[in-house]
Structure 1
Amino acid sequence: MTITALATPLATRTRRPSYELPATHGTSALARRAVAPAPQQPATPSPVRAVPEGSEARGFVLYVGLGEGAATADRIELARLVGELRALTSKLAPSAQTHAAVALAPAGSGGRDVDVVRRALGDPAVQQPAPEVDLGIVIDLTRKRVAIGDDVSPLTYREFELLQHIVLREGSTVGRCDIIDALWQADAEDRPNERTIDVHIRRLRSKLGAYAEIIRTVRGEGYRFDRHADVTVLASGPSPDRF
């Protein structure tokens, strides 16, 4: 059997111009369409514990260093700045409780404002200046010297003997005649009178500085030493005084 193929003419199609961009080797047409990447959301910061385990944070302190002169230059009053900061805090955290304190310092004291504020408000992270410690006065009868703080008072031998004589009779009034008889020989050429003893006491007190009043004047009777908390008397062995 013979099969005869019938040729049917196809309709002629007109090719429309294409407005698509020609494909590029290795890149699809879709890939060529530039698409702006979506903005990335900021990563949520991991919580940082500023307190040790077993305790809880109850708030924070914000130290603001701003002197009156700097505030004037910035054209703002401290009261207004405080008010606006408190208002912002209430807006961001309605449950927050606020308290404002102003740090005061002597005029012209210098230093950075924020450091002055931290010290004035007792910030434990700031090194507080060591308070001046009054070392007092030490009357060392063994070595025959008087130390006022870190300094040794330049007492003469006679002045120290006079001080020692009164100190050893702590709580008792020592008369001028008693002092003369104890510290000078009866026939000594330089044996003083009672008025001269007053001169010796004045010179002694001048060398005791801030502790001059440890030798008190008992009017009409003589002189007296009373122990104070800032006065230390050192002695070892038998009394060095002469009787």
Structure 2
Amino acid sequence: MTITAPLSALTSASPAARPAGTPRGFGLYVGFDEAKAAAAGTDLTTVVAALKRVLAEVAPGAESFASVALAPEGAGGRDVDVVRLALRDPSAVAKFRPSEARDERADQTGVVIDVTRRHLLLDGDRVSLTFKEFELLQYLVLREGRTIERTELITSLWSAASDEEIPNERTIDVHVRRLRAKLGRYEDIVRTVRGVGYRFDRHADVAIRQSHAPSPDRF
């Protein structure tokens, strides 16, 4: 189990009052307004590159990974708060009240696939998916309209280094069948392309939510 704690709890508290555990790293959330940055003669890539240079100087050998939080045009709130919530900062997520979650689902029909929160809603009700079922659905969703071969699903979603048994192509069919059963009357959004594999086909009753996109170390 991994435990997170505010950086201030480690840097300002006495040793006896610090949370138990060995620090393995930290997260730094940066609120970034592109328009203001451009007016100041900089941009996101420049800022991230500068932070990485500083890290290399003060902590040689330390690893880093940058993720970008995206928000719809006109989204309100402070930039840093949007970032913290999008990247699932525990203290920010804790402020999201259950009543707000119920309001979000009220009177909702169709399918909502929330990639950020990793959940599936059918007509406003949460559907319980296993980890692999959601991984499979997400993989197809993020490649919407492209037919994915069974071999690609196996190599992308199952690692030879894990303890989990690597499936064969017939087992993939079983995983898809179970996923479709949970999609109910919307099962056809995961379409079989005979002799090839599977494809995600969206229709009017399907909404995809994705509030942030990871940057695969392009910074």
TM-score normalised by length of structure 1: 0.43
Say which structure, 1 or 2, has more relative contact order (CA 8 Å, 6+ apart): 2
Task: Compare the two structures and name the one with the higher helix fraction.
Answer: 2
Larger Rg: 1
